[in-house]
């Protein structure tokens, strides 16, 4: 096949895509290719596209990021411990035992691992992965009032509006939740999102959080249920920015809603901008409304939309100050107590629990504490310089990140890790692979 035919085949895959859930390959120029990622090998990413009789073979130098459409998080095993290595890598695991040299853990996605103590930074107990409540953009079949909203496959599967109008759907919101969306616009955006709304229709909505992306930035409001014919709202604040001056005309917005604490945090492109306080009783509605407030050709395009459970209790439990003396081990308990000294071992005490033994210079007898009472284990700082994180960043679907030096994908992901050595990972754990350095996605020679 000649170069022109290859180019036409590539463009056909970009411009005409299936609406079913598929993996996503993002190229350096921002173009997207959907399909089943078959393999990652020497300088080539192979993708099974529904529009090609043979797999597409894409040069690794042109690939910026890979996103995997894996199993739903609810269908995957979970671990309640979280391991942090000295290079900053994080992954979930089940702690089995600890002695003077190694921590033994079990993972459903990589099997058993034996971790030298000198490579460990911390172990968090009682961690709860964020559950995915809704992931959209698979079409408009599960949305209501679909006026002037359509599905586009031109730049990857998206939802777009051509005029004023709204769409809505029912969401089983958790007590606290995270709303994420990525918006693309043509000229100037004017689009609103109603979270935890008490009605499907804007005209009947009297209780919700609302944030609007407009030409001056983001306005955050609170609709309050008062006995008046029109919805009443109060402004919680704003974030000043100029969307019209953004060269890519693309913005990732994340709203973290903590209903018990009556706060709403806004992140833009992954960076916290502001935390807004709300004095009213938090809304308890079960609807999400997206409202396009301006007209024109492809005025707004939703590239991504999803809602996740936000476990603020676990986050608060593990938010603690720095270790006072990094030259010794430190144990923090769930009730707030903290001990420093040497963590001697973790051994099975019963079938359902383990016991941690710790020696403190301030206590005559060694402490024996059930791991069910533990919050965080901090290991003394290693003298050696931490290893590099790796050329490629792997995001795990149920929490955590790993830096990898070389990768090869087939039915499993085989990779080299700077601390863990050779790894063979269950494909279902894969969420995203990003190239950190200006090098092709290829296997190290």
Structure tokens at 103: 């921590």
Q: Are residues 155 and 227 in the same domain?
A: yes
Same domain, 149 and 285: yes
- 234, 226 Cβ separation under 8 angstroms: no
Which position has the token pair 């807004």?
A: 276
DSSP state of 60: G
pLDDT score of 156? 53
Q: Is residue 372 part of a domain?
A: yes
- Residue 228 confidence (pLDDT) above 50: yes
Which pLDDT score, from 0 to 100, does residue 298 have? 60
Q: Measure the CA dihedral 369/374/376/382, to 10°.
A: 20
Query: Is residue 75 a part of any domain in this protein?
Result: no
The number of folded domains in the chain is 3
Within 10 angstroms of residue 161's Cβ, the number of other Cβ atoms is 25
| Predicted pLDDT of residue 35 | 84
Could you tell me the CATH number of the domain that includes residue 137? 2.60.120.560
CA angle 378, 383, 386 (to 5 degrees): 80
Query: Structure tokens of 136?
Result: 């959209």
Residue of 4 and 148 predicted with greater confidence: 148
Pick from 97-101, 228-232, 299-303: least confident: 228-232
State how far the Cα of 344 lies from the Cα of 373, in Å rounded to an integer.
Answer: 17
pLDDT for res 94: 93
Question: Residue 436 pLDDT > 80, yes or no?
Answer: no
Average the pLDDT over 156-161 and give the result: 72
Q: What angle do CA 380, 384, 387 make, to 5 degrees?
A: 105
**Is it the case that residue 389 has pLDDT exceeding 70?**
no
**Most confident stretch, 56-60, 72-76, 134-138, 209-213:** 209-213
One domain for residues 218 and 319: no
Is 254 within 8 Å of 267 (Cβ atoms)? yes
**How far is Cα of residue 50 from the mean position of the Cα atoms in its chain?**
27
> With contact defined as beta carbons under 8 Å apart, do 193 and 211 qualify?
yes
Instruction: Choose the final residue of a domain: 310, 331, 354.
Output: 310
Tens digits of residue pLDDT in 163-189: 888 999 999 999 999 999 989 888 889
Q: Do 140 and 171 share a structural domain?
A: yes
Question: Looking at residue 331, what is its pLDDT?
Answer: 93
Q: Which of the residue ranges 108-122, 135-149, 335-349, 426-440 has the most confident prediction, judged by mean pLDDT?
A: 108-122
The answer to whether residues 417 and 341 belong to one domain is no
Is residue 411 situated within a structural domain? yes
H or E segment at 183? strand 176-185
For residue 399, the enclosing domain spans 1-69+387-445
The residue among 414, 408, 407 whose CA lies nearest residue 392 is: 407
Domain-located, residue 109? yes
What integer best gives the mean pLDDT of the chain?
82
17 or 213, higher pLDDT: 213
**Residue 158 sits in the same domain as residue 228:** yes
- Indicate if 344 and 367 belong to the same structural domain: yes
pLDDT for 7 equals 42
* pLDDT score of 17 more than 50: no
Q: What is the pLDDT of residues 375-387, one digit of tens each?
A: 899 999 876 655 6
| pLDDT category of residue 293 using cuts at 50, 70 and 90 | confident
* pLDDT value for 74: 55
Within-domain flag for 76: no
Which pLDDT score, from 0 to 100, does residue 13 have?
42
Chosen domain end from 326, 358, 378? 378
- Structure tokens of 80? 């309640």
pLDDT of res. 153: 64
The pLDDT score that the predictor gives to residue 4 is 43
- 117 lies in the same domain as 199: no
Which of 8-22, 158-172, 221-235 is least confident? 8-22
Mean pLDDT of 258-284: 89
Higher-pLDDT residue of 52, 193 = 193
Mean pLDDT of 324-348: 90
Instruction: Assess if residue 77 is contained within a domain.
Output: no
75-106 tens-digit pLDDT: 678 888 999 999 889 999 999 999 999 999 99
**Same-domain pairing of 232 and 284:** yes
**Is 289 part of a structural domain of the chain?**
yes
- Identify whether 74 is part of a domain: no
pLDDT at 323: 77
Q: What is the pLDDT of residues 103-150, one digit of tens each?
A: 999 999 999 999 999 999 999 987 766 677 888 766 777 888 767 888
Question: Domain check: are 303 and 338 in the same one?
Answer: no
Q: Are 401 and 430 a contacting pair, CB within 8 Å?
A: no
**Above pLDDT 90, what percent of the chain?**
36
Q: What is the share, in percent, of the chain residues with pLDDT greater than 70?
A: 82
pLDDT tens-digit profile of 240-267? 998 888 888 889 899 999 998 899 999 9
Determine the pLDDT at residue 140: 79
Verify that 408 and 370 share a domain, yes or no: no
The domain boundary residue, chosen from 289, 310, 331: 310
Query: What is the C-alpha to C-alpha distance for residues 44 and 94, in angstroms, rounded to an integer?
Result: 35
Same domain, 302 and 227: yes
- Contact (Cβ atoms closer than 8 angstroms) between residue 82 and residue 399: yes
């Amino acid at each position: 096949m000649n170069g022109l035919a290859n180019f036409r085949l590539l463009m056909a895959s970009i411009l005409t895509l299936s609406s079913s859930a598929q993996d996503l390959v993002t190229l350096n120029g921002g173009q997207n290719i959907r399909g089943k990622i078959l393999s990652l090998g020497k300088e080539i990413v192979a993708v099974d596209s529904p529009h090609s009789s043979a797999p597409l073979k894409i040069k690794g130098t042109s690939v910026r990021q890979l996103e995997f459409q894996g199993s739903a998080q609810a269908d995957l095993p979970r671990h309640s411990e979280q391991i942090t290595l000295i290079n900053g890598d994080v992954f979930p695991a089940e702690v089995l035992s600890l002695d003077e040299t190694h921590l033994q853990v079990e993972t459903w996605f990589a099997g058993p691992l034996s971790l030298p103590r000198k490579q460990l930074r911390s172990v968090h107990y009682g961690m709860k992965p964020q559950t995915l409540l809704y992931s959209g953009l698979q079409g408009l079949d599960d949305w209501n009032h679909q006026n002037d909203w359509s599905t586009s496959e031109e730049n990857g599967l998206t939802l777009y509006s051509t005029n004023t109008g709204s769409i809505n759907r029912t969401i089983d919101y958790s007590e606290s939740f995270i709303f994420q969306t990525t918006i693309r616009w043509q000229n100037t955006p004017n689009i609103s999102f109603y979270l935890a709304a008490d009605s499907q229709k804007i005209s009947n909505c009297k209780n919700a959080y609302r944030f609007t992306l407009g030409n001056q930035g983001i306005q955050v409001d609170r609709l309050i249920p008062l006995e008046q014919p029109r919805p009443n709202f109060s402004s919680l604040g704003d974030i000043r920015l100029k969307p019209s001056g953004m060269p890519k005309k693309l913005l990732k917005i994340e709203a973290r809603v903590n209903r018990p604490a009556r706060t709403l945090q806004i992140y833009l492109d992954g960076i916290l901008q502001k935390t807004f306080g709300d004095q009213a009783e938090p809304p308890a509605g079960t609807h999400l409304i997206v409202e396009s407030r301006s007209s024109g050709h492809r005025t707004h395009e939703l590239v991504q939309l999803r809602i996740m459970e936000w476990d603020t209790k676990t986050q608060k439990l593990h938010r603690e100050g720095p270790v006072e003396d990094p030259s010794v081990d430190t144990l923090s308990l769930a009730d707030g107590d903290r001990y420093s000294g040497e963590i001697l071992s973790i051994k099975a005490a019963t079938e359902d629990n383990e016991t941690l033994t710790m020696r403190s210079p301030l206590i005559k007898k060694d402490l024996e504490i059930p791991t069910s009472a533990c919050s965080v284990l901090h290991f003394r700082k290693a003298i050696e310089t931490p290893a590099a994180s790796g050329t490629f960043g792997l995001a795990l679907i149920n929490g955590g990140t790993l830096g990898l030096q070389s990768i090869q994908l087939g039915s499993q992901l085989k990779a080299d890790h700077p601390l863990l050595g050779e790894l063979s990972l269950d494909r279902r754990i894969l969420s995203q692979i990003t190239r950190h350095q200006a090098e092709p996605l290829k296997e190290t020679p």
